[in-house]
Amino acid sequence: MEITFIIIAAIAGLIIGFLISKTIDSKSATGTLKSAEKEANKLLKEAEKEGESLKKDKILQAKEKFIELKSEHEKVILSRDQKINEAEKRTKDKESQVSNELSKNKKLNAEVEEKLKDYAYRNEYLEKRQEEIDKILQRKINQLEVVSGLSAEDAKAQLMESLKETAKAESMQMIQDTVEEAKLTAQQEAKKIVINTIQRVGTEEAIDNCVSVFNLENDDVKGRIIGREGRNIRAIEAATGVEIIVDDTPEAIILSCFDSIRREVARLSLHKLVTDGRIHPARIEEVVKKTRKSIDEEIIDIGKRTIIDLGIHGLHPELVKMVGRMKYRSSYGQNLLQHSREVAKLCGIMASELGLNPKLAKRAGLLHDIGKVPETETELPHAILGMQLAEKYGEKPEICNAIGAHHDEIEMTSLLSPIIQVCDAISGARPGARRQVLDSYVKRLKDLEEIAFGFGGVKKAYAIQAGRELRVIVESERVSDEKASALSFEISQKIQTDMTYPGQVKITVIRETRAINIAK
């Protein structure tokens, strides 16, 4: 019973506890709800306040934007109004100017009309006076015809016949006297002009040779130029086409070649190599290439200086370059540029003495041997080739004719032509000015090189040792070792067949293969 009572008491306690806890939970929930409602109301009020403040800010920003756009719009309208006002002002100025011009034109038209009326009146008056004069003149003629017994036409014919016979007799006498005087003085005057011209031009005469001497500070440099087993000297000869002669001559090396440009390239290249101190095949090729480029620039500079010294203007750039190349050309041993400058000066003086244009004469004199400069193989005489070059580069017809006719290849059509011919003869006829042997020697060497270039695969060809040896450099890609031997034989046979030469000619064919890469 006690146990039962305890169990019942426990169950009753549990039930009472459960009820009490439920009552407490409901009261706490009610409190939580009330506090949540208060918090919500508070948040709503704060949100309403923030919304009002944001609304006011947006309204203020909108008002400021509106004011800004309004001010910009007003500025645009103001500038447009100003432009319109300026345009209106310009229009009014133009209208006033046009009205002024119209008023001036009206005044001028009125003056012109007045002058036309005055002219018509004067013309009418002159016509009446002319009619009166013609009537008076006719009456006088009629009176003279009555007195003389001849008509006006007969009297005029008799007078003209008499005057004609008198004038013919006097003119024949004058012509005869002039011819006699010209015969007596023409030869004397011509000699005087030629002598005065020669006396006023003095130039140095020097025969161009085929060798140059390169001076050294000491003989030790010769060994460096020759190089190990002669590789340096062979590289120089192959790059320049000039024969290098190293003998017992103290402190000197001889450069032998018929081509003045090649000799100059070799001389300058040697000077640079000796000064720099680095002498080896790769450096030699680099220096020779740079020297050739500098020589080309020097040729143009020489041409420009020459035409400036002679007062010649407007010459085509190609002709200027050809004038510069004349320095490295010779004619019968006479330097071509020096000869052409002398002929130009002689022509200018002679043209002035004869009352002709000295500038045209100088121009024609400078260009008269321009046909000797190009190295192209042609059968045309140098005078005709020079005339064609002058025509190609826009020279005047009288200059072209003077160039083409100075050796009588074509007919002379201007007074400049005989002047050029005479001055060319004067320059070439000076004692020691020319040497025939050298020109034929140079031609033989050029012919040797041209024969080599006539074969396929030939890259370079140089006639050296006064024409006793021909060195031919071929392209290794096109010519094999077997073909090189055959090419040497073919060239020798061609030279035997086509040329006349003293002694023997050695043909050396050089074939070289190179592999080049660059380390970066």
Domains located in the chain, CATH noted? 212-297 (3.30.1370.10), 322-429 (1.10.3210.10), 439-512 (3.30.300.30)
C-alpha to C-alpha distances, 275 to 27, 269, 271, 290, nearest whole angstrom: 117, 10, 6, 15
- Alpha carbons within 13 angstroms on the beta-carbon side of residue 482 total 0
Starting at the earlier edge strand, list the strands of the sheet with 211-215: 211-215, 252-256, 243-245
125's tokens: 């008056």
Q: What is the Cα–Cα distance from 179 to 174, expressed in whole angstroms? A: 9
Span 125-129, mean pLDDT?
88
Q: How many other C-beta atoms lie within 10 A of the C-beta of residue 305?
A: 12
Note the pLDDT tens digit of each residue in 63-120: 888 888 888 888 888 888 888 988 888 888 888 888 888 888 888 888 888 888 888 8
At residue 45 the predicted structure's pLDDT band, cuts being 50, 70 and 90, is confident
Q: What is the Cα–Cα distance from 109 to 474, expressed in whole angstroms? A: 89
265's tokens: 């390239």
296's tokens: 């080309």
At residue 183 the predicted structure's pLDDT band, cuts being 50, 70 and 90, is low
Query: Can you give the pLDDT at residue 198?
Result: 52
* Amino acid making up residue 305: R
Span 14-40, mean pLDDT?
73
DSSP calls for 337-348: HHHHHHHHHHHH
Q: How many other C-beta atoms lie within 10 A of the C-beta of residue 190?
A: 12
Look at the chain and count its residues: 520
Average pLDDT score over the chain = 81
405's tokens: 């006719």
Note the pLDDT tens digit of each residue in 187-204: 656 655 655 555 455 454
Q: What is the Cα–Cα distance from 500 to 308, expressed in whole angstroms? A: 44
Query: Can you give the pLDDT at residue 436?
Result: 47
Q: Is the pTM of this model over 0.85?
A: no
Contact 333, 439 (CB under 8 A): yes
Query: Can you give the pLDDT at residue 74?
Result: 87
Q: Are strands 243-245 and 211-215 parallel, antiparallel or unpaired?
A: unpaired
> Helices H, strands E: what count in the chain?
14, 8
Q: Among residues of the chain, what percentage have pLDDT more than 90?
A: 2
Query: Can you give the pLDDT at residue 220?
Result: 73
The answer on pLDDT for 429 being more than 70 is no
Question: Which region among 143-157, 286-300, 392-406, 492-506 has the lowest average model confidence (pLDDT)?
Answer: 143-157
The answer on pLDDT for 32 being more than 70 is yes
CA-angle at 381, arms to 505 and 210, nearest 5°:
40
At residue 425 the predicted structure's pLDDT band, cuts being 50, 70 and 90, is confident
DSSP calls for 22-52: HHHHHHHHHHHHHHHHHHHHHHHHHHHHHHH
Note the pLDDT tens digit of each residue in 155-175: 677 767 777 777 776 777 777
Q: What is the Cα–Cα distance from 108 to 106, expressed in whole angstroms? A: 5
Query: Can you give the pLDDT at residue 207?
Result: 44
3-state SS assignment for residue 369: coil
Instruction: Map tokens 């020096």 to a residue.
Output: 338
Query: Can you give the pLDDT at residue 206?
Result: 45
| Higher-confidence position of 227 and 347 | 347
Span 484-496, mean pLDDT?
89
Note the pLDDT tens digit of each residue in 286-330: 888 999 888 888 888 988 998 888 888 888 889 898 888 888 887
Q: What is the Cα–Cα distance from 277 to 282, expressed in whole angstroms? A: 13
| Secondary structure percentages of the chain, helix, strand, coil, to 5 | 75, 5, 20
Contact 327, 337 (CB under 8 A): yes
452's tokens: 């080599």
Q: What is the Cα–Cα distance from 272 to 173, expressed in whole angstroms? A: 77
11's tokens: 């169950």
Query: Can you give the pLDDT at residue 59?
Result: 86
Q: Which residues contact 373 (CB under 8 A, 6 or more apart)?
A: 322, 325, 326, 329, 336
Q: Which residues contact 413 (CB under 8 A, 6 or more apart)?
A: 397, 398, 401, 405
3-state SS assignment for residue 211: strand
Q: Which residues contact 354 (CB under 8 A, 6 or more apart)?
A: 193, 415, 419
3-state SS assignment for residue 115: helix
Q: What is the Cα–Cα distance from 19 to 15, expressed in whole angstroms? A: 6
Q: How many other C-beta atoms lie within 10 A of the C-beta of residue 145?
A: 14
Q: How many other C-beta atoms lie within 10 A of the C-beta of residue 420?
A: 31
The answer on pLDDT for 474 being more than 80 is yes
Span 223-239, mean pLDDT?
83
